[in-house]
Amino acid sequence: MPLRIFLTCICLGAASGIVYDALFFVRLFCGGREDGVRRRIVTACCDIAYFLAFAAAFVFVSVRLSFFGLRLYMLAGCALGITFYVKSLHIIIAFFIKKAYNIVAEKADSRKKAIKRREKHER
């Protein structure tokens, strides 16, 4: 039973990394690129939202699967899952997001060039 709980906590920690990455986009679009007060406030709000969502998910899973009390290995499993996500899955996801961004940027650039060529020929 404790092994099942430990593995579940690892999976929960890894899944929480996806929420953290989603909040990264909120930070990026709402916080701006400048290092200022607004960016710090948005970062703090996103971090608080992440930890609240993680705590709610942990409590939900604990109640739903009838975990018995809070044990240290549960927290260690969650931390291990988060570390696993950051060290492996996050890198893979970031790679594919970068690829997708480059494809979209390349298409947008080629459209801009095509529009300029048309405008040039119309003159």
For the record, the structure tokens of 96 come out as 């594919």
Determine the Cα–Cα distance for residues 78 and 11; give it in Å rounded to an integer: 8
pLDDT at residue 117, rounded to an integer: 78
Could you tell me the sign of the dihedral formed by the alpha carbons of 23, 28, 29, 34, in that order? positive
Number of neighbouring beta carbons within 10 Å of residue 48: 10
pLDDT at 34 over 80: no
For the record, the structure tokens of 59 come out as 């409590």
- How does pLDDT run across 71-116, given as a tens digit for each residue? 888 889 999 998 988 888 878 877 887 888 788 878 878 887 777 7
Whole-number average pLDDT of the chain: 84
pLDDT at residue 116, rounded to an integer: 78
* Residue 89: partners with Cβ closer than 8 Å, 6 or more residues away: 14, 17
